[in-house]
Amino acid sequence: MQLTILVLNDIHLDLNFDNDNRACKNKSTQFKQFGVVNCDTTVPLYEQLQSQINRQFPCIYLGDSPAHGQNTNFDLIKKVMTDVNCSGYALGNNDAETNYKFDNKRINQFMQMDNNFQEDGLYINYNFYDGIVYIGLNTVNLQKIDQYDQLGRLEAVLKNATQFKQQVVIGCHIPFGAGHFKGDFIDSKIRQNYKQILAKYENQIILEVNGHYHTEWWRWIGNIPSFINPGISPSNQNFPGYREYKLEKVENKWHLVDYHQYYADLTKEEVQFEIQYKFSQLYPLLQDQKYITGEVLKQLSAMQYFDKQFLSWRTIQRNMLEAYDINQIIKNMKD
């Protein structure tokens, strides 16, 4: 039995993007219908995304709906979350915060919003798909405490999943731990507690998915594979992208076997989201490996040829602003 999970994140829809009024990092950039690098998602790009994603797949949306600077537009946030119509959600920092200062008052408001989402069933979905439970964690938290006992909630879900022989997918907007930029978003004690909980229930967790950085890379937490997913908005010098994770059920247990990466080339007149590579093609597993696990990612990262073959966010980012051709990038790394 096979399953595909669609993961979307960082849409940052900008309803005001045109020649006269747009929120982007380069105000002098010439307007293009489907958007430009360093600016947020235009309506045509958003509509193209909606027309192309496969609605037959269960999906996860990891937040950041409004364009940068439009954080208080809750009607826009509601619209995007309704449009994507996913089975699992997480809130992003741009869904409530005005900037990255995260003053205590706003953090508390944000975490209260998280608690309400949990009560409404959006953060925990016990019926995500055939024996799979989804839990979304609110990682927009710079305080020293685990507000609203999110980790307690996580452990309860994992304990319940163990009892009823279910498995869990975890979704976050900001990844636990350090990211591409200087500093950590989450207190070290909270991070350590999180790792301890995951280690305790490692066999019940299929994977962890994250957003926020608009770029792609992987990590591992013990034997749990963890992925940073590229964003739809091209505001971080990236082309729009989303991902489909491929799972296979063997002897009543789900395993991650592949993912397909889609990108949209903004240099073209007619922009389409197209599959650009498959994990299984770019990183062939060793003969005794059937599934993508944390240990597999760790081994791939340690290989001598890793720096040449790893399709890192830096490789993608460096080539995008020159002549974007993902197939040529991959070919160059293999040659």
Amino acid in position 56: Q
205-228 burial code (b ≥16 CB/10 A, e <16):
bbbbbbbbbbbbbbbbbebbbbbb
pLDDT value of position 310: 41
Number of domains in the chain: 1
- Domain of 111, CATH number, reads 3.30.750.180
pLDDT value of position 312: 42
Domain of 211, in residue numbers:
2-334
Crossing angle for the helix pair 188-200 and 150-163, nearest 10 degrees?
Answer: 0
pLDDT value of position 119: 66
Rounded distance, CA 256 to CA 262, Å?
18
pLDDT value of position 284: 73
* Strand 2-8 relative to strand 59-61, pairing: parallel
Q: 63, 90 in Cβ contact below 8 A? A: yes
Q: Residue 182 is encoded by which pair of tokens?
A: 């200087």
pLDDT value of position 140: 80
pLDDT value of position 303: 63
Judging by beta carbons within 10 Å of its beta carbon (0-12, 13-18, 19+), is residue 168 exposed, middle or buried? buried
Q: Cβ of 193: how many Cβ atoms within 10 Å? A: 16
pTM: 0.87
Per-residue pLDDT of the chain (335 residues; tens, 9 = 90+): 999 999 999 999 988 776 555 556 555 556 677 888 788 899 999 999 999 998 899 999 999 999 887 777 788 888 998 999 999 999 888 887 666 656 667 667 777 777 777 766 678 999 999 999 999 998 887 777 777 788 999 999 999 999 999 999 999 998 887 554 555 667 788 888 999 999 999 999 999 999 998 888 888 899 999 999 999 999 888 889 999 999 999 999 999 999 999 999 888 888 899 998 899 888 877 667 899 999 998 887 766 444 444 444 443 433 333 333 444 444 544 44
pLDDT value of position 314: 40
